[in-house]
Structures are given as C-alpha cells and as structure tokens.
Chains A and B, each alone.
Chain A
Amino acid sequence: MISIRDVVTKENIKRKNTIDGVTQAIFMASAILSASFIVLIIVFIAFKGLSPFLLNYEGYNFQQGTVDLDPVNPISFLTGSQWLGGTLGLSSDYGIGFAIINTLIVVFLAIMLSVPVSVFTALFIAKVAPKRLANVMRTVVELLASIPSIIYGVFGLGIITQFVVFVAGFFDYQTAAGLSLLSTVIVLSIMILPTITAVSETSIRSVDKTIIDGSLALGASDIQTYMKVVLTAAKSGIFAGIILGVGRALGEATAVALVSGNLFAGIQLNPLGTTATLTSRMLLGIKDTTGIDYDIRFSIGLVLMAVIVITNLSLNFVMKRLGGIHEQ
C-alpha cells in the first residue's frame, strides 16, 4: 500500500504549483480578452457614433445633387422631434428626442402591463399550484424566455397587429395595418413576461417559510399572506426581475422594428398610432454602409447605451430606497 506521505513529495508539490500558475495565466488571458472586446466595441461605436457631430459628410439631394453637409448639431439631435427634416435625400437634420421619449413610453407601458401578470404568475407557480403543475409551468416560462425575438416579432406582425386592426375597427380608426404603439407594447410585454416571472418566482419561492407561518398564525388568510407578506419579502427579487425586463425591453430591436411602424416624427400617445423607438430608428431604413445615414445609427447606439445605463442606475437607486431597508 502507498502512503499519502509518498505522494506529497517536493517534486509533486512543485509540479502542482506550476500547473496552478499556468491555469491562473489562462484565466487572466481570458479575462483580458473579453474585457478588451468590450473596450473595442465601445471605442468603435464611440468613434463611429461621434463622427456625424464632427465631420462634414457628403450628401445627395434631389434638388441640388451632391452637397457638402454640415456636422450634425448634437443638441438638436438629442432634442429633435423629427428624424429628417424637409429635404428629400440626405441632410444632417437628424433628431431623435422624440424617439427617446417614445422608447421610454413604450417600455413604461410594457412594464405596467407585464409586471402584474408576471408577479401573479410567479406567485401562482411558487405558492399556489400543485407541485407537478408548478414544474410544468416553470419549464414553460423558461422556454418562453429562450424564444428568439424574431419569433415574437413575426407573431406580433401576424397576430397582434391583426388584433389591433380589429380593435381599431370599433372606433372606425384606420391604423397603419395594425403597426402601432399598442402592438409594440403588447409584443414587448409578452417578451419580458418570462424574464420577470422567472426571477420573481425564484425570489418568491425562497421567502422564508417561518414568516409565512407567522402570518397564518395571526389569522391572516392565504391571500393576505401572499399579498402582504410574501410579496413584501420578495420585493427586492421582483424588482431585480423588473430591472432585467426593462433592460431587455429597452434593447429589443427586431420585434419592435417589425410592429412599431417606425414613426418619423413626434411623440406618440395614441395607442393606435405608429411609434418609433431608438432601436427601431437604428435598425430600419439603412441603405448604405457608409456615409452619414449609416454612421448616425451608431450615434443612436451611443444614446441607447446611455439611456440603458441611466435607467438602470435610477431603478437601482429607487430599489435601494424602497426595498433595501428591510434586508438583514
């Protein structure tokens, strides 16, 4: 029999240390690689996205032919209520202020629609449904979360827009084939439903059973216990789910582009009217892969990233203020 002391030799320890060192170097290299990709992407987008504000591009318009365009004015870009004003052809008159607002409206409405449904579904799966049904539903939710957004998009285009046309019929309203704020909100809220549900469900399920017993022992009903104690205890998890949902909704391009109608100007408050989000403005109408109309998409990308970061930070701030005080 070999004793463990025969194995723990100076030589073996040295070899082990060498392997450790090499492994560590591999970890480090991987980390540097992925970090440098992020830096590379940001630098590339910033470089492309800032060019329209700094350079003179060549434009072509139907009245004057090829013209020299002034750089885009960053202020009117950020606050403008019109994508391209006046000219037929290329100009530097890009504005996306309206799209920023429309994006926030769309996401806000989608969240308002999605959160109650998600949270009640999560509560049902975690606490009410019998074990087997709960397992089935949990799997369904996971599957829904993994459906690619193009599928939600064509579903929206095929079904939801038709539904909107049908609804608009009652008001004698002529929609753009159902492409509308309402369709966009519905499609987005369906898309973020599984994300919010899954995260909320995990957090509802992990609520300490002893406080549930505590509530029931005080004569609270099951429903009172779920609504007042369980949801309160799971608040920060549910909020984390909402933040993920907001992130997904803000960044969603494909499905939104298919059903929004990609409005050119103005803030849309009419649910049956078309709308435009930053992503749909970014994605739709690309004709060339050079020139101002191409590079300006990167500028929108920069704005979108800023909107996502700012929204995320403010939601995190709100979450800390609202939910954090009862964490142990």
Chain B
Amino acid sequence: MDAIFELKNINLYYGQTQAIKGIDMTIERNKVTAFIGPSGCGKSTFIRILNRMNDLIPECKIDGNIEFEGQNAYAKDYDVIELRTKVGMVFQKPNPFPMSIYDNIAYGPRCQGVKNKAQLDEIVEQSLRRSALWDEVKDRMKESAMGLSGGQQQRLCIARTIAMEPEVILMDEPTSALDPIATQKIEDLIVELKELYTIVIVTHNMQQAARISDNTAFFMLGELIEFGATDKLFATPQNPKTEEYITGRFG
C-alpha cells in the first residue's frame, strides 16, 4: 500500500472543546477516501487538517504527527503555501471568485508567478478538459464565473484546483448544494480524477460514499470509529455503531 498521508494520534481543540480525539489514519495514494458520520462529528475539521486550513482559526490547537509524502506537514520549516498547492480543496458551497471563468482557473498559477499567456492558456484548457467543463465554457471564457449554474461552478472550482497539478484533492461535501443531475456529473468526474489524484471526500450521503470511494472512514463525536475498504465496511461493519449508522438506525 502506497500511503500519501500518515496521521498519528491526532488531537484537535477549538479553545477548550476537543473536536478530534486521538485519531490515527493512513490515506492511500490515488484512491478515493470517504469520510462519513453524523453532522458535527468532526469530518470537516479532520479534512481541513490535511491542508492546514485550521491554521486560519485562531483558537484552534492541534497535536499529533501529520506526515504528507513522508514529511512532517506541520513542521516549522514546512511551507504551508507549498502544502496547499499540493493538497487542493473543493468546498461545500461552490465558491468561484467574482472574475471571468478564465481568470478563475489562471488565478492559482498566477499567484505562483506564471505570467506567460500561452502557458496559462494551456493550463486553463487542460484543467477545464479534465473537469469535464471545457465544452460548456470554451466559448465564454471571458464571461463571469458567477453566471454559471451551481454544478458548473463546482466543476470550475475543481478545475481551479486541478490547475495547480496537486497530489491530493480534498472535497468537503462537494455535492450537498447541488441537484441530482449535477451531483451525478461530479461523481462521474471524481471516479475519472482518481487515476491522476488522491481524493479525500466528506459526504453525508452514504450511497455516494459506497458508489465512489475505495476506503471509508466513519467518525462519531470526534473519534474514528471504523476505517477500511468501502465494500467491506458497508457489507460487514466491524463496529456495532457503524452498523447502526449505515443501516440508518442512527443520525
């Protein structure tokens, strides 16, 4: 097994409240890992550990050992900007920038200093092709991204992340704001993208986890209750709490 993230004994506190309680987890490269669990159990908190988005919350404290590609991602000399260019993130609510479609995709590369027009054009086209949005937007690159539908906006956000050529794409309930058809498109896309990237996805939808993920982690009250291959976890859950949750007797 090829691990990309290796997490050991992770504890996270918001002020006095402990939101993550002693979690160990190994995330496999080029696989889809799903996080499931009742709302408020710490799925978002945990996924945000992976690209250090919790750094932005002042009262948030974390301890434990987080290795990304064999290096301590929380070490003093580990650059958080480098981490975030390698570990991209797609959010619950589509959050395109109030700019043109083109500028949205070119934003990340430009922030790293890419100025060459031809190079940017290529990055933009490739990212949009990979996120299955190219045909829909190729004639309206200069138009505002705000004019796209919700599903298109979310695929634009995926394209924006892909433009950085990340190793990992984190997705926090990426389809919860979308209709079933748009959701279907994103799920298809995730299955395609897994060839190229490691994907970690939070979902409140267990069918979604079962359909698209290779491994599933079940969280409750800040603890990791069960973690393993998705088909096994859903077919023969080892922990009674997991069984309760996936059979719908809970949450």
Contact = CB atoms under 8 A, between A and B. Distances in A.
A219 B53 contact: no
Interface string B70-106: 0000000000011011001101010111110000000
Interface in A193-225: 208, 210-211, 213-221, 224
B218 interface: no
A326 B98 contact: yes
Contacts of A216: 53, 56, 84
A210 B53 contact: no
Interface string A43-75: 000000000000000000000000000000000
B51 interface: yes
A219 to B, nearest CB: 4
The range of chain A's interface size is 20 to 34
Nearest to A130: B58
Contact of A228 (B82, B91, B111): B111
Nearest to A217: B89
Contacts of A224: 111
Interface of A: 208, 210-211, 213-221, 224, 228-229, 232-233, 235, 325-328
Interface in B160-183: 160-161, 164
Interface string B132-158: 000000000001111000000000010
A84 B91 CA distance: 68
B146 A326 contact: yes
Interface of B: 51, 53, 56, 81-82, 84-85, 88-89, 91, 93, 95-99, 107-108, 111-112, 143-146, 157, 160-161, 164
Given A325-B144, A327-B98, 18 more contacts: A210-B93, A213-B53, A214-B95, A214-B97, A214-B157, A214-B160, A215-B97, A215-B107, A215-B111, A218-B108, A219-B112, A229-B107, A232-B97, A232-B98, A233-B97, A326-B99, A326-B145, A327-B146
Nearest to B160: A218
B111 A219 contact: yes
B99 A217 contact: no
Q: Chain A at the B interface: mostly helix, strand, loop or mixed? A: helix
Given A210-B91, A218-B161, A326-B146, A228 B107 contact: yes
Contacts of B51: 217
A233 B164 contact: no
Nearest to A210: B95
Nearest to A218: B108
Contacts of A208: 95
A214 B111 CA distance: 13
20 contacts: A211-B97, A211-B98, A213-B95, A214-B96, A214-B97, A216-B56, A217-B91, A217-B161, A218-B85, A218-B107, A218-B111, A219-B108, A219-B112, A220-B108, A228-B111, A229-B97, A232-B99, A233-B97, A326-B99, A327-B98
Residue picked from A214, A216, A219, most chain B C-beta under 10 Å: A219
Nearest to A235: B98
Contacts of B144: 325-326
A38 B203 CA distance: 60
Contacts of B160: 214, 218
Contacts of B97: 211, 214-215, 229, 232-233
